[in-house]
Amino acid sequence: MVIEHRPGRTVTETDNVLMTTLGGNDAPIHTDARYSSLTKWGRPLVCSSITLHLVGGMTVRSTSGLTLANLGFEEIRFTHPVFVGDTLYAETQITGRRLSKSRPDTGIVTCRTTGHNQHGADVVIFTRSFFVPVDADAARDATNY
């Protein structure tokens, strides 16, 4: 089963400025229009951490809204550049689920997510694992979520 995450999210200049500043990434390929115009891209690239953040965020509501903790991101690949003005979309496939060996009331879900732009080009692919409550109804009742 493939989960489509909608709506898409258009990347803005503000996204790029805020996240490069927050992360301390002032590489000219992300922040200097003149420098970037002289590269093969011809314009600033959106910082890859923004791409991961936006695409990962799109998946939360439909895959992990009751997540107790992220366990890790693995096999992260940035496969195509992202520019201000691109609209990102995501699809996720659940690739595994099992009970936690150390926490009997908790399950571990693993999923593979692909983010792509408005032209259908894949821009990021990653695997993520996270803890979820085994009894989601009890968790909702306890938290009023």
Domains and CATH numbers, the chain: 2-143 (3.10.129.10)
Q: What is the pLDDT of residue 69?
A: 86
Residue type, 104: P
Higher pLDDT, 69 or 55: 55
Higher pLDDT, 91 or 65: 91
Q: What rounded mean pLDDT belongs to the chain?
A: 92
Asked if the model's pLDDT at residue 121 lies above 80, the reply is yes
In this prediction, residue 1 has a pLDDT band, given cuts at 50, 70 and 90, of confident
Inter-residue long-range contacts of 58-63, CB under 8 Å, 24+ positions, other chains counted = 58/5, 58/9, 58/88, 58/89, 58/90, 58/115, 59/3, 59/5, 59/90, 59/92, 59/111, 59/113, 59/128, 61/5, 62/3, 62/5, 62/92, 63/3, 63/92, 63/94, 63/109, 63/111
Asked if the model's pLDDT at residue 64 lies above 70, the reply is no
Average pLDDT over residues 10-20: 95
pLDDT digits (tens, 9 = 90+) for 26-57: 999 999 999 999 999 999 999 999 999 999 99
